Structure 1
């Protein structure tokens, strides 16, 4: 009788333990289910996204850049107009000179000797002319009185004319030699910078042989090759944006040449550079020319584009109402890129809302929560501060 009650007690304890274990298991499963549900709910929460509106327009402006070179308004090779040996070079390469500055001199010993001889001839002719004039003056009354014949007086008078002509010829030769002496000094025809020195001291030069190359200091110009189809839209007198040494400036268009380069199929547009542009002759310079493209589309930030296979571009459009908005893929064609934005067209329409940033972390069909304008501004400020 003592064993049965003991067995009964053990059986009751086992049942109580089993019930407790069952309750514990149920509670654990319920807790895990609740946590899983909460995690699932958290995963399904819409992702906040920055949105932008697609605004369609009939055309867009694009900037075309053309390259060219800075050129001096005047370029020349200067040399002596008379032959001779160069006796002295007065300037150096790279030196800036004013108009009329002496650049070089010739050896003038021979010219000086010839000038002295010509001067002597002039003096002799003047003396002979004076004598002939005095003879004519003395014989004039004698002809009237019949003391000498008219024939003799005509010889005297015409001899005076011949001496006068000889004096004029001698004076012309003297003047020519003095001009040659003046031209034996090579002078700058305008304010310029010395380029190359082609002949040195001691060289014998011929008339017209270049001694220096010069480039003018003032009125720098930009000569830029422009496509023929674009040149017709340029307006003489209007200012255009130029780029020189990483500096942006505006310069008026002064002319467009009428000839076309048969290789590059470009013509030359000439711009007058501002006076404060101290550019070297031959420096590179570029111009940006606006051009209107009649293509329907709209501008989007580059961060809104997703590059797919085979060069296909897509965007994520926001479809649905507030509280139930999905990100759906739309195909677009990129027509032009300028800075951090692109001009596109495709299956999107005017007024469509698109995801502007972070598109690579959002799968198509994902529920999203578009941020309002104020929220986007606050987000931008916080990102800037961080």
Structure 2
């Protein structure tokens, strides 16, 4: 009796479990069917996308950058023109000096003594000239009256001429010593900055020996090597933008040299650097010049590009099929990048509409709803 009741209870439990499993299966199947129906592509609304138009052109312009250096308009190694021992150094390295400023001086004791002697020679020659001139004036009437011979008067006249020459020579010697005294002070030939000091106090210098190196402060220039094919389009007198210390500097083109560097195949363009640019001699500077590249293609925003395997780039073009707009993958080649724009060519045609942004969330074949192309603006090139 007990066994029969146990069997009936077990059978009842098994039936209940089977019924519950069947209901669960039916519900699960129904839910999956509904989800599948909801995820059918035809039931999804088209994804809104920004579009831009691909316009084909035969060439494009790009900026080509050339490097150079800022140089002082004048560089000099200067020294004394007269020999002597340096008695005083009046400036230091790196100091800015005005034109005519004294830089160093020589010991002038010997020159001062020689000048004093030359001054005495001038005084003596002046007295002799005065005496000879008076003698000539007294004897001139006597030779006319026959009181003295013509030979004696000629001796008097020529003696005066010799004394005149001696006086001129003594005066010239005195002037030469005055010049040497002036040149015993070394002065800046132009407004400059002191570079290196090559000799110090006590050194005996000879004419031509350098004491300082100078670089001019005003009229600095930028010497930039430019490709020959670009240099022929440069116009002397025109203003070009230079890049210096991450700043843009407007500079006038002064000249283009006629020689070409055989290694770099560039010539040198010389620009005038504005006075308010406080650049050091030898600082780097560059110029960007436009260059036309004869390559057929068109501009697209970088956000429209998709990088694929092995460096292949693609875009998503808009294609009309069955009254619907689909995103279709097209291969392109990137020829040049400028800012946030890329110049490309490939399997897209002139006038094609391309998805301009958000391409990484759109799969090829997706239904899309293009936004007006006025919402995407390409940079002018």
- Provide the TM-score with structure 1 as the length reference: 0.86
SS in 2 for 1:120: helix
Contact 2:52–2:376, Cα closer than 8 Å, also in 1: no
C-alpha distance in 2 between matches for 1:92 and 1:297 = 61
State how many pairs are aligned.
364
C-alpha distance in 2 between matches for 1:250 and 1:325 = 50
Are the structure 2 counterparts of residues 172 and 27 from structure 1 closer, same or farther at C-alpha, using a change threshold of 3 Å?
A: closer
Contact 1:252–1:272, Cα closer than 8 Å, also in 2: yes
Residue matched to 2:331: 331
Residue matched to 2:172: 172
Shift of 1:42: 9.0
C-alpha distance in 2 between matches for 1:50 and 1:376 = 7
Residue matched to 2:8: none
Residue matched to 2:259: 259
Residue matched to 1:210: 210
Shift of 1:20: 10
C-alpha distance in 1 between matches for 2:373 and 2:53 = 12
Q: How does 1:1-386 map to 2 (within 5 A)?
A: 26=26, 29-40=29-40, 45-320=45-320, 324-372=324-372
Contact 1:323–1:369, Cα closer than 8 Å, also in 2: no
C-alpha distance in 1 between matches for 2:27 and 2:132 = 152
C-alpha distance in 1 between matches for 2:275 and 2:312 = 49
SS in 1 for 2:336: strand
Of 189-198 and 361-370, deviating more is 361-370
Of 46-55 and 193-202, deviating more is 46-55
C-alpha distance in 2 between matches for 1:207 and 1:62 = 55
Q: CA RMSD in A?
A: 2.8
- Cα deviation 1:283-310 (Å, max 9, x = unaligned): 1111000111222211111122222333
C-alpha distance in 2 between matches for 1:175 and 1:20 = 132
Q: Which runs of 5+ in 1 are unaligned?
A: 1-13, 378-386
Residue matched to 1:8: none
SS in 2 for 1:156: helix
Are the structure 2 counterparts of residues 151 and 28 from structure 1 closer, same or farther at C-alpha, using a change threshold of 3 Å?
A: closer
Contact 2:136–2:156, Cα closer than 8 Å, also in 1: yes
Contact 2:52–2:373, Cα closer than 8 Å, also in 1: no
Shift of 1:97: 1.5
SS in 2 for 1:289: strand
- Provide the TM-score with structure 2 as the length reference: 0.87
C-alpha distance in 2 between matches for 1:113 and 1:156 = 35
Shift of 1:18: 9.5
- Cα deviation 1:147-186 (Å, max 9, x = unaligned): 3322222212211111111111111111111111111111
Contact 1:68–1:285, Cα closer than 8 Å, also in 2: yes
